[in-house]
Amino acid sequence: MLKFIIKRLLTLVPLLLAVSVVVFLLLRLGPNDPAMSYLRLSNIPPTDAALAEARATLGLDRPVAVQYFAWLGRALRLDFGISYVTKAPVTDHLLHYLPNTLYLAGVSILMTIGLSLPLGIMAARYQGRWPDHLSRALAYIGVSTPSFWLAFLMIMLFSVKLGWLPTRGLGGLSHVIMPAFSVALMSLCINMRLIRGNMLEQTHTRQVLYARIRGVKEGYITRGHVLKNSLIPVVTALGMHIGEILGGAVVAEVIFAWPGVGRYMVSAIFNRDFPVMQCFILMMTTIFVLCNLFTDILYAAIDPRMRLANEGSGND
Amino acid sequence: MSCPALVINNLRIVYPAGQRVILHDLSFTVPGGSTVALVGESGSGKTMAAMAVMGLIPSGIFQAGGDITINERPTGNLTPEQYRELRHKSVAMVMQNPMSAFDPVLSIFQHFKETFASHGVRDRKRIRDLAAEALRGVGFDDPRHILELYPFQMSGGMLQRVMLAMALIFSPPLVIADEATTDLDVISQAKVLKLLQDHCRSHHLALLLITHDLSVAAGLADEMVVLKEGRLVEKGPVSQIFKSPASPYTAGLLAVHRGLYTPRYRRIISNMERQSV
Amino acid sequence: MTDTGLTGNDSLILPPLAGPGRRATARKAALALSALVLAGLIGMAIFAPLAAPYDPMEINLEERLAPISSRHWLGTDHLGRDVLSRLIWGARASMGSVVVIAGLIMATGFITGAFSGYIGGRTDSVIMRVCEAFMTFPTFILALFLIGVLGTGLTNVILAIVLTHWAWYARIIRGMVMNLKNRDFILAARVAGGGPVKIFLRHIAPPVLAQLVILASLDLGHMMLHVSGLSFLGLGIQPPTPEWGCMINDARQQIWTNPELAIIPGVMIFLTVLAFNIPGDILRDKLDPTLVERE
């Protein structure tokens, strides 16, 4: 198991390097001129002299490869430069907001798993009857609902009409439940149908037949064989869900004035604050990659084939 | 003489959606402690008969007539729970292609555990001991190690022996072996068949041997039942059928079977068997 | 399996279940409805100038936040613009961008994937590494970054979404092409003397393109959600051009007094995405249950 983890960790390095190259190239090749933005935000008139000076300060006059390595070196030291707006180090800002985003995303993931599991199992158990049809209908609706619209509907109902929940800000359950749900709904619905489908498929396998032949109790069959085998693809799907949730959190943060990195990023886009943008994408992508690594490890932990496939004791 | 392990009486199995009759009023008996070979080509309905005995006919297929009696217990009025209790205790089955029957995410021990627990044995230590004993009985020298393995870590021959051990833990009066050796190499085949035969003899268990391989039938069975397209063609003592088959179909099967066995081939096989045993 | 305990000892041959028949009619109804909605939306988009009663950008502050009336069937927004007209014109932006995005993604995915798969070798490895790099990013996050780099506006939103999605398609197309390339009938065609380009166009391209269209159509709803999401954040179409996501954003201030201004455009997005998803889902069920599901 440890060997597996180490092997996977090593594949992270070239992956993240490739990511950094893509980010760097996209930054430099964009139509926006960082020097121009810098001057604009600093309220310095963009004369030729000022531009030249800005370029030199930002190191834009050196060859691209040199720039990349200089940039990479700084990135590895978590130095992403100074915000064009606040003139303060970007990394500090983002690290300050990051825990809030992780909190929101974390609750969303918990909601996704916590709700999709029982609903999916129920839909499989009552296949063809009304709980199954209801879950299918809900899934269609959930997958087609824009998260920002859902957020507003919830605010209108729970805040404006009923006054139960606050509309904005960081906080505990009452603050996080609406944003987290708006982010989680789509993933929840997809996961619910996935679990249902897997469970139905698993009840018709030869393994289940053999278990029945041995007179194994239905409860043991459902838990030991069907559920376990059904959840394995769900762990794989988790990686996809996390990507969507990280993206959806940005929108929720804007609507609910949640002080996370997503909201910060959106204002940085309007301000053309490039240092913030590059730190944001590298940070979020790294988190995403680490999450995928985690799901891979979880998968290997559940599925013995991943861990042991190469070992054997084949003496007959 | 002991009671018959299995009595099938006019069993009729139909597949309405395909408008097919899978078994036409099949009747035969497996006397207690004896070995009966159920022989026929692929698609003759042999496996469906076995499934009917187990009470596990697939959905969409129905028993439209007849009755089955296992160890003098009629199955017609059993509740699902009663039938479940009967399975593996009164009638156990060894299936073909064990690799796809065992669950890859459960260890061999876990397979034993759920089987024992479903039939009233819950103590883990006791289960482990009983399972190890069963595995030793089928020729594993290090059963404790086998219990920790997962199915994909073992070969087909090994798994088939595990399946056999599993089937014998309660010494069921009736054991059904459905093409249990078909996917195996010749050596493993011989091993498994010998184990089957020895165990059934020593514990006085009846064996319903489903096979399309007449040499297997000839080697182990006392009686033979020949099926063709869901119909009983012939049944009787093996030696009699081999000597003088009553139906032309059986005669045809025997001719094909004999055609495979040139004298040279038979010499090689008996040499191999002498060496491996 | 007889998990319901039906040992079949209930003897008689039972009639077939009512299930499949009912499912099929429900499916047909859903398909018909979706087709109707999509046709309506496309009609709205194309015939906007004729269908809309007012100029969607005409500001009329005297009539701001007017309720539903015979003059304004859906009322007016905070600048007095007719909501219904903005809704109808909004179909252009939304449907139009989705169509363009889908087309561009199919084009880039096909060209890159087919080229990479057909050529093989070093070029293929390099292109696949690039694809993998792009696929490592969470899609919405990458789209945000691209808009940050490229600037706001509809064109850049389209570009951003295309750049975040093409790699997945390229990978699949490349896989299909590689698979087909080595089949016997291609060998036969080559022996018969066809040039590589001709063989590609005649034998490989058609089934790959068909699969591509199916895959893309399954994704349309998702693309629509991304487009309206980015527009909602103010990164897409710039006001005053009407677009449904934008309209919801504009309505944020009025949420306490005129909630319908946020509800109505959302209903349009919801219906559009639903109309895209239902046929896609049915298509997927019919064809290949093992089709990779995008999120």
* Core vs surface per residue A22-52: b (16+ CB within 10 A) or e: bbbebbeebeebbbebbbebeeeeeeeebbe
Q: Does C126 map to a domain?
A: yes
The DSSP secondary-structure symbol of B22 reads E
Mean pLDDT of A183-210: 92
Q: Does C20 map to a domain?
A: no
pLDDT surpasses 90 at B102: yes
List CB contacts (< 8 A) between A305 and chain B: 104-105, 150, 152
Task: Looking at mean pLDDT, say which of A125-134, B138-147, B210-219 comes out highest.
Answer: B138-147
Domain count, chain C: 1
Q: Does C9 map to a domain?
A: no
CB-CB neighbours of C152 under 10 Å? 20
CB B88 within 8 A of CB B117: no
Bridge partners for C178 per DSSP: none
Domain that holds residue C111: 27-286
Classify A26 as helix, strand or coil.
helix
- Out of B61, B65, B77, whose CB is closest to C11? B65
Environment class of B275 (CB within 10 Å of its CB; exposed 0-12, middle 13-18, buried 19+): exposed
CA angle at C137 for the pair C136 and C138, rounded to the nearest 5°: 120
Token couple for C242: 């009407």
Give the sign of the dihedral formed by CA B45, CA B49, CA B51, CA B57. Answer: positive
Q: What is the pLDDT of residue C201?
A: 80
Query: How many Å lie between the alpha carbon of A290 and the closest alpha carbon of chain C?
Result: 11
Environment class of B225 (CB within 10 Å of its CB; exposed 0-12, middle 13-18, buried 19+): buried
Domain ranges of chain B: 6-98+173-276
CA distance B137 to A167: 70
Q: What is the pLDDT of residue B35?
A: 94
pLDDT surpasses 80 at A38: no
Bridge partners for B6 per DSSP: B30, B70
CATH number at residue C88: 1.10.3720.10
Token couple for A74: 């700084």
Q: Does C62 map to a domain?
A: yes
Q: What is the pLDDT of residue C251?
A: 87
Q: What is the per-residue pLDDT across B6-21, written as a single tens digit (0 to 9) for each?
A: 999 999 999 988 788 9
The DSSP secondary-structure symbol of A313 reads -
Please report which confidence band the pLDDT of residue C12 belongs to, taking 50, 70 and 90 as the band edges.
very low
CA distance C142 to C185: 41
CB B88 within 8 A of CB B32: no
Contacts of B108 (CB under 8 A, 6+ apart): B102, B131, B146, B147, B148, B149, B150, B151, B154, B162
Q: What is the pLDDT of residue C205?
A: 82
Range with lowest mean pLDDT among B115-119, B148-152, C209-213, C262-266? C209-213
Please report which confidence band the pLDDT of residue C254 belongs to, taking 50, 70 and 90 as the band edges.
confident
Q: What is the pLDDT of residue C287?
A: 67
Nearest alpha-carbon partner for B164 in B136, B122, B142, B187: B136
Nearest alpha-carbon partner for B92 in B150, B37, B50, B137: B50
The DSSP secondary-structure symbol of A224 reads I
pLDDT surpasses 50 at C183: yes
Higher pLDDT, A180 or B219: A180
Subunits next to B (3 or more Cβ pairs <8 Å) are A, C
Environment class of A73 (CB within 10 Å of its CB; exposed 0-12, middle 13-18, buried 19+): exposed
Q: What is the pLDDT of residue C10?
A: 30
Query: How many Å lie between the alpha carbon of A227 and the closest alpha carbon of chain B?
Result: 11
Please report which confidence band the pLDDT of residue C5 belongs to, taking 50, 70 and 90 as the band edges.
very low
Contacts of A69 (CB under 8 A, 6+ apart): none
CB C254 within 8 A of CB C16: no
Largest Cα–Cα distance of chain C, in whole Å?
Answer: 79
Bridge partners for B226 per DSSP: B39, B234
Mean pLDDT of C247-261: 85
A309–B188: do the CB atoms touch at under 8 Å? no
CB-CB neighbours of C278 under 10 Å? 21
A30–C149: do the CB atoms touch at under 8 Å? yes
Chain C touched by B14 (CB under 8 Å):
yes
Size of interface B-C (CB pairs under 8 A): 46
In this structure, are strands B206-211 and B35-39 parallel, antiparallel, or unpaired?
parallel
The H or E element spanning position C85 is helix C83-119
Q: What is the per-residue pLDDT across C32-72, written as a single tens digit (0 to 9) for each?
A: 888 998 898 888 888 888 877 888 777 877 777 777 777 77
Average pLDDT, chain A: 87
Q: What is the pLDDT of residue C15?
A: 36
Domain spanning B6-98+173-276: CATH superfamily: P-loop containing nucleotide triphosphate hydrolases (3.40.50.300)
pLDDT surpasses 90 at B262: no
Nearest alpha-carbon partner for A183 in A230, A214, A149, A157: A149
pTM equals 0.83
Q: What is the pLDDT of residue C261?
A: 86
Classify B7 as helix, strand or coil.
strand
pLDDT surpasses 80 at C196: no
Token couple for B272: 């191999």
Please report which confidence band the pLDDT of residue A76 belongs to, taking 50, 70 and 90 as the band edges.
confident
Query: How many Å lie between the alpha carbon of A28 and the closest alpha carbon of chain B?
Result: 49
CA distance B194 to A228: 36
Bridge partners for B231 per DSSP: B228
Query: How many Å lie between the alpha carbon of C18 and the closest alpha carbon of chain B?
Result: 14
CB-CB neighbours of B67 under 10 Å? 15
Chain C touched by B52 (CB under 8 Å):
yes
List CB contacts (< 8 A) between A266 and chain C: 144, 233-235
Q: What is the per-residue pLDDT across B21-68, written as a single tens digit (0 to 9) for each?
A: 999 999 999 999 999 999 988 778 899 999 999 999 988 899 988 999
A216–B114: do the CB atoms touch at under 8 Å? yes
Instruction: Quote the crossing angle between the two packed helices A261-271 and A228-255, to the nearest 10°.
Output: 50
CA distance A89 to B235: 91
Q: Is the peptide bond before B248 cis (omega within 30 degrees of 0)?
A: no
CA distance A158 to A181: 13
Higher pLDDT, A186 or A50: A186
Q: What is the per-residue pLDDT across B75-90, written as a single tens digit (0 to 9) for each?
A: 988 999 999 999 999 9
Q: What is the pLDDT of residue A41?
A: 67
Give whole-number Cα distances, B15 to B21, B44, B45, B47, B62, in Å.
6, 14, 12, 14, 6
CA distance A144 to A129: 23
DSSP B126-138: HHHHHHHHHHHHT
Q: Does C8 map to a domain?
A: no
pLDDT surpasses 50 at C293: no
- Out of C148, C221, C259, whose CB is closest to A277? C148
Q: What is the pLDDT of residue C1?
A: 36
To the nearest whole percent, how much of chain C has pLDDT over 90? 24
Q: Does C14 map to a domain?
A: no
Environment class of B143 (CB within 10 Å of its CB; exposed 0-12, middle 13-18, buried 19+): buried
Q: What is the pLDDT of residue A20?
A: 87
CA distance B191 to B176: 17
Chain C touched by B120 (CB under 8 Å):
no
Range with lowest mean pLDDT among B89-103, C92-106, C127-141, C179-193? C179-193
Q: Does C99 map to a domain?
A: yes
CA distance A196 to C156: 39
Subunits next to C (3 or more Cβ pairs <8 Å) are A, B
pLDDT surpasses 90 at B132: yes
Chain C touched by B82 (CB under 8 Å):
no
pLDDT surpasses 50 at C140: yes
Residue in this structure with the two tokens 């497996």, named with its chain if needed: B30
Q: Does C210 map to a domain?
A: yes
pLDDT surpasses 90 at A212: yes
Q: What is the pLDDT of residue A32?
A: 65
DSSP C123-168: HHHHHHHHHHHHHHS-HHHHHHHHHHHH-SSHHHHHHHHHHHHHHH
CB B65 within 8 A of CB B11: yes
- Out of B16, B59, B80, whose CB is closest to C13? B16
Mean pLDDT of A233-252: 92
Nearest alpha-carbon partner for A181 in A148, A141, A226: A148
Give the sign of the dihedral formed by CA A287, CA A289, CA A291, CA A293. Answer: negative
